[in-house]
Amino acid sequence: MEAVMISVLGLFALGIICWEAWRERVRASKRIPAEWQAALGRIANEQELGHYRHARQGILQACRRIEHHQDSARLAKHLHVRLAGLLARDPIYTEVVRTIRSACAEEPAVSEVVLCLTLGDYLVEDIRQCMAIAESFGQIRRRDAGADSLVIPRPTPSM
């Protein structure tokens, strides 16, 4: 009888240890790694200082890092949401995406040259940077058509 009680007590203790280890693993998977927290903090600081081009460059690098490193899907989605929140504060990015969508309301695609001429108040470097980010987020896709590149909006962004 004592052997059965000790065995049951041992199994109960083992069950508690396994349950705690599983809980800690779940908690760890929900946290963002420190390197990503630092990167997001740097991007946010750049935006607060008004250095939107540097912030967009950081966002583009983060998107490429997510694509190449294939972090967990949950972490990648969470990082995309955080990066999208930072992009919402960027005046040029929102204007570029809005212009692409409105230009493609009548045509299925818009020429990159026409887009740059339409957004004449902004530098071509900024416009191309915004298009690269939008392509990383799945909002648009680009297709080469001879000497020019066509920009095609996607109806629903995929992340």
Q: Dmax of the chain from CA atoms?
A: 87
The sheet with strand 148-153 has its strands ordered as 110-111, 148-153, 140-145
3-state secondary structure of 110: strand
Residue 138: both structure tokens together: 């799945």
The string of pLDDT tens digits covering residues 124-144 is 888 888 888 888 888 887 777
Q: Looking at the domain assignment, is residue 19 inside a domain?
A: no
Which domain CATH number covers 95?
Answer: 1.10.10
Decide if 32 is inside a domain: no
Q: Domain of residue 79: give its range.
A: 52-153
How many domains does the chain divide into? Answer: 1
Q: What is the pLDDT of residues 19-34, one digit of tens each?
A: 888 887 777 656 777 8
Q: What is the mean pLDDT of residues 98-126?
A: 82
* Residues forming a β-bridge with 145: 148
Q: Please indicate, yes or no, if residue 37 is contained in any of the structural domains.
A: no
Give a yes or no: residue 33 inside a domain.
no
Q: Which of 19-33, 48-62, 110-124 has the lowest mean pLDDT?
A: 19-33
> What mean pLDDT do residues 78-101 have?
86
Residue 42's pLDDT is 92
d(CA 82, CA 62): 11
Question: pTM of the entire structure?
Answer: 0.69
DSSP 5-73: HHHHHHHHHHHHHHHHHHHHHHHHHHSPPHHHHHHHHHHHHHHHTT-HHHHHHHHHHHHHHHHHHT--H
Q: How confident is the model at residue 112 (pLDDT cuts 50, 70, 90)?
A: confident
